[in-house]
Structure 1
Amino acid sequence: MAGIRFLEDHRAWVLTAASSTYALRLDEDDVPTHVYWGPRLPAEDIPDLIGKTLPWWDGFNDPDEGRDELAADGGTKYWTPALQLRFADGTRALEWRYQAHDTTQDHLKIHFADRHYPLRITLHYRHRGDVLERWTELAAETDVEVVRADSATWVLPLLEDYRLSHVTGRWAAETQLHRTSAPHGETTFASRRGITGHHANPWVMVDDATATERHGEVYGVALAWSGSWRLTTTRSSTGRLTVSGGFGQDGVTHRVGPGKPLVTPVAAGLYTAGGFGAAGRAWHAYVREHVLPHPRELRPVLYNSWEATGFDVSEQGQRTLAERAAALGVELFVLDDGWFRGRTSDHAGLGDWHVDRARFPDGLGPLVDVVHGLGMKFGIWVEPEMVNPDSDLYRAHPDWVLHHPHRRRSELRNQLVLNFARPDVREWAHDWLDRLVGDHGVDFLKWDMNRPFSEAGWPGEADPDRLWVEHTRAVHALMDRLREDHPGLRIEACSGGGGRIDLGVLARADQVWTSDNTDALDRLRIQHGYSQLYPAGAMSAWVTDNPNFVTGRSVPLRFRFHVAMAGVLGIGGDIVRWPGDDLALARELVALYKDIRPVVQHGALHRLRPPVDDGVTALQYVHEDRTVVFAYRQASHFNAPERPLRLEGLDPAHRYVDSDDGTTHSGAVLLARGLPLGLPTGDFASKVLRLRRKI
């Protein structure tokens, strides 16, 4: 049975989930100390793992280093600090004093104070399925400078070796999966950009270098934060490895004092014994069940107008696109950039969120009515956190942007970042967004953010560094407030593609824009890295035109559709110019997607063959009695014979019926030998197979 046990004689807490156990204790000095994280154990067995604190055997090596639950700076602690403080008199060391703890069925709070200074620390632990959420809360009666406040330190067991799995990338090349041996010393993954970032993502997985997609123990840590962040792995010469993670960055401090508590974001940890595939499925289940705001809804097939029109937007042009999209079976029509005053290029207009009457003479109402009349929902692109210097807003409020006195205001994409930590900016943003959604019947916002922070100053503010945290919290809060004001509103998070994908934004966005790169071959790799942690039901994927605007590559329409159908299907091409054969194929594939959508968006993902080369890659989704398989041959070499594809997640005692040709297959054979794919010959060959368990 899952739950929380306090072993009073050992001053230890045991948190048990369905398939894992986590335990910690207080040492002789009240320091919260890690005991165990791994396969499920009875609470009664945990005392066998508790040893006494060992004395130093010389003046340089601490035999207990790396075991703290929240590694605090000070004294003879030299491990990577998760908590660094500076009190008003200059004292930096922390000395723990346990006060009390309280628990509910799934939430443990352990309360501490500093032994001398009026500082209170609460460590939070909460199980959500097999994922353990941890965060830290600081409060003080006098001002305290917090140099670093990570959410948690995660202590891994002693393994034969340590290997790190993580993703790297850049614009149009996000979430590229890497696996590498963990170096000794500190390895930091981070974003200093004020957003989650394209170049890394706030999660890391650790195994002993023997785990595969199907076998082996995997430990994972992910941070629920959409601003600057860092995760640090520390591997000592004695073999221990920890992961410490939280918001913030070097040189940016927090202040805690009367009425100014600090609560860190959730750091989520997961142990699985079934390899990276089981880890991915467990993370997906956690996101669907405990993170996403509307996890049981099916995400609609959308059309986005950007690649068809760019900034050349007109009411008639959008009407024509909407009519063509509806004929394809699209359920959500999204008007992208260029609908507001002064927005004929990316040089001007951001901040002046008023409908351009030269393009929409009677406002957006007539277009919205047309879209709704065609049976589709209406969505619109916004970029609330940005302003062009060439805008009425900036001319009226130049102090609203991030800036430092006597320093240039660096522009990227001809725009500056508004300081959402300011109450007046927050209220301005809510006011116009609330009116935009409410007055026009907007069903969907594509929320974009097209540049990182720079000159992140706040002249006249006593604690300017707080903007790094408060901006992100304000964005989250604004999304939450809009959703509360407009319960039918749905949101897609975007930041120049995949620059804002994390557990924090997914708690208030229904889906994320994975990358501006829609090239089908590149997307196979981007989507593979994305799927390590995040589910397909939140992954927006579009079919766009040939040649692709990022890569210049041309790929058959069927292949493009099949790649996008492995997530939340969207269409972004200039469909007015598509030939009749392409439109007919698109209608057929949209209908197919609607049939398989519950399996893709809600099912368990099995990555059967990863896109590690240019051969065949394959995915399988299993939901209730249905299975959907996507197979893609990228390039054909030497007339190589096709291998059967071994499936996973099926019941060997049942037979499975192919929904297209009616043939039946033994579940045991599909698991043991595999399924003949029958891919078409040549390059860019793809296929979708639908199987249903025979009752």
Structure 2
Amino acid sequence: MKSTAEVKIAGERYADNYTCGLTMLGSGSMDGFELKSENENESEYRRPDGLRLKVRNTYCAEADATEVVTTIQNDGSRTLTMEMLTSVLVREIKADRIHRLLSFWSAEGKHKVDTIKELDMEHSWSNHGVRVLKFGNLGSMPVRQFFPFVAVEDSKNGVFTGVQLYAPSSWQIEVLVKEGDTVSIAGGIADRDYGHWTKKLMPGECFEAPKALIATGKSLEDVCDKLVKAQKPDISPVDDRMGIVFNEYCATWGNPTIDNLKKLADKIAGKGIQYLVMDSGWYGKCGYWWDWRGDWTVNKERFPNGLKELTDYIRGKGMIPGIWFELENTSQEAQTFYEEDHLVKKDGVPLTVGNVHFLDMEDPWVIEHLTKYVIGNLKDNDFGYIKIDYNDTMGMGCDGPEGMGENLRKKVIVTQNFFRKMKKELPDLVIENCSSGGHRLEPSFMELASMASFSDAHECLSLPIIAANMHRVIKPSQSQIWAVMRAGDSDERIWYSICSTFLGRMGLSGDVYDLNDHQWELLSQGMDFYRRVSDIIRDGKTTVISADTDSYNEPTGAQFVMRVLGDKALIVYHRFADSVDMKEFAGKLGINVDNYKLLDKYGIADKDFSAQALLIQI
């Protein structure tokens, strides 16, 4: 399946059929474009005034997906202002159902499916008028309300077509119906109507739209697996064995000290944990860690001898030390909060969201400042892991030379370039992509990181539901799942938490120094099982995600996830309220678990809110 492209130039005719303000597709800007050259991978269209559109469709055989890159070049003599440019445009797809993935804080990835009829998008009796479903996100948190993803289904023939955008800032996806039983899918940067985006294209200038992925498959899981496998993350060389992460946040709650981190290091040393990560609160004159973000001087009350004492201690225990930063934002107790010349502005004043200002990442002073306090800290103190957080969004856009949406896009691109700068100066650095948990779980950020916080869901019942959702949009090998251990944990709660981590990367936290020997034994068994199935987590294909609950807060029923690699499979089963046993639940899916040879298992799922994982031969 190949993509074409469209552009809308300011001042030129908008489309009719009652679509002005709904979509910019079909405008007069496409009049005069002719196909000038075409081969297997690239098509080029030109207008008489010298405007050129190129669409490159590159097939990725190992993922069975197509990567789309659209570029536009102005070979004319006058400056043109774009107000829409597609990254992807696929026409005439037979479909009757639309699949989207919702996302809010600690509720990432909920699957929503609507029929064309339910959305009132059936074609009209005369095929006049265009039905438009337009959705997306505005701001610098690109995964908020929706993931930049859509799949349409032809339920009669069992064919799914999926599209995923590389969308680090504002984006949009449109599904359109004009006539018959087919839809068109378009997506890219949120346009002028939706995302306040305009971009001048000077004579001789070329602009490349964010890339996109397209895949077709026989099920939602099939098409999502292809889109995810087409992503190409820059994994650190030291992060090649699905290592377990311990993040101390749910032990100290933003109050780390040299003493409590040494205590943690002593307790988890020799347990096969690869990373010990110090989270927020190590900086400034921290009272409440939130208020001191942006002051990256070491808190001498908490770390009187500096941070090298800590990293030496952690490395001496056989682990890689990690540290938390929030690069782009600054709060009211930090001096950078008041550096107005170096802050993002809206309407001529610093853009303020809650108690946050945003550093202007296009400002060389800011890059020099972050190079000193972030990269310098990593180097001087021998950190091998950085968790990069981002806890608010700039919204619709900001001041600058272009449209507000384009000004915003350029600042986020510079942030991504700073990620690359860190990796260039520290090639082995492990980067964790975090944005209040899951607000940056889109491909362009995921390709810059070894792993990501899957969510800020720490100790809630929705943990396995969100973890399973993530299989549809990011690699499970990059999806770090929280499992927070407490002294009061029952066996069932430990199994419930640890089995959730088998849906991605195991990430531990909590008061592990208070666990008794029996609890430690359950945890150790879980870590051993995780290591045994880590190749399936990393390289397998998720064939089944089935959960019969519609609530994250009060889940009912159960969830069954199956991931296959070669002749082996991992099954992870979580029971919620009013649940049935695994065999009965799987039977409703047409799966008889007794038909498989059991190789290993962890946990016991014999009651509500318990869990079990099976390693089977198929």
Tell me the TM-score normalized by structure 2: 0.86
Measure the CA separation in 2 of the matches of 1:226 and 1:547: 40
Q: Extract unaligned runs of 5+ from structure 2.
A: 122-130, 550-554
Identity of aligned residues (%): 18
User: Which of structures 1 and 2 has the larger relative contact order (alpha carbons within 8 angstroms, sep 6+)?
Assistant: 2
State which structure, 1 or 2, has the greater radius of gyration over its C-alpha atoms: 1
**SS of residue matched to 1:572:** strand
CA contact (8 A) 1:82 1:244 kept: no
CA contact (8 A) 1:545 1:574 kept: yes
Report the AA paired with residue 435 of structure 1: G
Measure the CA separation in 2 of the matches of 1:547 and 1:167: 36
From 94, 103, 116, give the equivalent of 1:169. Answer: 103
**SS of residue matched to 2:461:** helix
Aligned twin of 2:432: 492
Matched, 1:286 2:230: yes
Shift of 1:196: 1.0
Measure the CA separation in 1 of the matches of 2:396 and 2:503: 40
Alignment of 1:609-620 (within 5 A): 609-612=546-549, 614-620=556-562
Change (3 A) 1:210 1:535: farther
Alignment of 1:206-355 (within 5 A): 206-209=152-155, 216-249=158-191, 250=194, 251-258=196-203, 260-272=205-217, 274-287=218-231, 290-291=232-233, 293=235, 297-355=240-298
Measure the CA separation in 2 of the matches of 1:83 and 1:76: 8
Shift of 1:380: 0.9
Measure the CA separation in 1 of the matches of 2:582 and 2:281: 50
Shift of 1:317: 0.9
Change (3 A) 1:640 1:523: closer
Measure the CA separation in 2 of the matches of 1:322 and 1:647: 46
Matched, 1:418 2:418: no
Matched, 1:391 2:391: no
Measure the CA separation in 1 of the matches of 2:143 and 2:250: 24
Shift of 1:370: 1.1
Which segment drifts farther, 502-511 or 554-563?
554-563
Q: Deviations over 1:422-444 (max 9, x none)?
A: 34323432343221222222211
Aligned twin of 1:476: 416
Report the AA paired with residue 222 of structure 2: A
Aligned twin of 1:634: 576
Shift of 1:383: 0.6
Change (3 A) 1:197 1:278: closer
Measure the CA separation in 2 of the matches of 1:83 and 1:609: 37
Report the AA paired with residue 226 of structure 2: A
CA contact (8 A) 1:546 1:555 kept: no
Q: Deviations over 1:626-652 (max 9, x none)?
A: 322222222346x889527469999x9
CA contact (8 A) 1:75 1:93 kept: no
Shift of 1:657: 4.2
Change (3 A) 1:562 1:93: closer
Aligned twin of 2:128: none
**How many residues were matched structurally?**
585
Q: Extract unaligned runs of 5+ from structure 1.
A: 1-21, 24-33, 35-67, 86-90, 662-676
Shift of 1:598: 1.5
Matched, 1:527 2:459: no
**SS of residue matched to 1:544:** strand
**SS of residue matched to 2:251:** helix
Measure the CA separation in 2 of the matches of 1:522 and 1:346: 26
Alignment of 1:63-142 (within 5 A): 69-70=5-6, 77-78=15-16, 94-101=31-38, 108-116=41-49, 118-129=50-61, 130-140=64-74, 142=78
CA contact (8 A) 1:546 1:554 kept: no
Measure the CA separation in 2 of the matches of 1:620 and 1:200: 25
Report the AA paired with residue 128 of structure 1: C
Aligned twin of 2:126: none
Matched, 1:543 2:487: no
Matched, 1:566 2:503: yes
Measure the CA separation in 2 of the matches of 1:625 and 1:102: 39
Measure the CA separation in 1 of the matches of 2:307 and 2:533: 34
Aligned twin of 2:614: 689
Shift of 1:516: 0.6
Shift of 1:191: 0.7
**SS of residue matched to 2:422:** helix
Matched, 1:506 2:453: no
Change (3 A) 1:631 1:339: same
Q: Deviations over 1:525-579 (max 9, x none)?
A: 222322223221111101114699xxx9996112111112221001121222333
Tell me the TM-score normalized by structure 1: 0.77
CA contact (8 A) 2:200 2:402 kept: no
CA contact (8 A) 1:82 1:153 kept: no
Change (3 A) 1:102 1:205: closer
Alignment of 1:441-456 (within 5 A): 441-454=382-395, 456=397
Report the AA paired with residue 577 of structure 1: D
CA contact (8 A) 1:448 1:494 kept: yes
